[in-house]
Amino acid sequence: MESVVKELLLDELRRVENMEKAFEKQISKYPKGSIQIKKINGKQYPYLCYREGGKVVSKYLKVSPIELEIVKKRIQERKQREMSLKRIRKDKKVLSKAVKIK
């Protein structure tokens, strides 16, 4: 009976590990950071700001207002996927402890 439960836990652990890899791959396709609007000479310019190796990087986004909304939506989608990935990693940690794999 114990081996059946352990085998089920191992199967679930493998499934969670596959989900983790899939989410990491998805997340890498989305822009990271946030949109900051800088006012220069009375005009507003959108910048994508994010951290890279401990430094804050700001990149000017030369996009239309419609495209800017798409970028904002994609950033939000990345954040949602990152939250899901965090839950997946928590589940993975619990499952690893349950089957005594480190």
Contacts 24+ apart (CB under 8 A), 45-53: none
Given a cut of 90, whether residue 83 has pLDDT beyond it is: yes
Q: Starting from the edge strand earliest in sequence, which strands make up the sheet with 43-52, in order?
A: 34-40, 43-52, 55-60
**pTM exceeds 0.85:** no
- Partnered with residue 43 across adjacent β-strands are 40
Given a cut of 50, whether residue 102 has pLDDT beyond it is: no
pLDDT digits (tens, 9 = 90+) for 58-80: 999 999 999 999 999 999 999 99
Helices 65-98 and 2-27 pack at an angle, to 10 degrees, of 160
Nearest to 50 by CA among 35, 62, 64, 63: 35
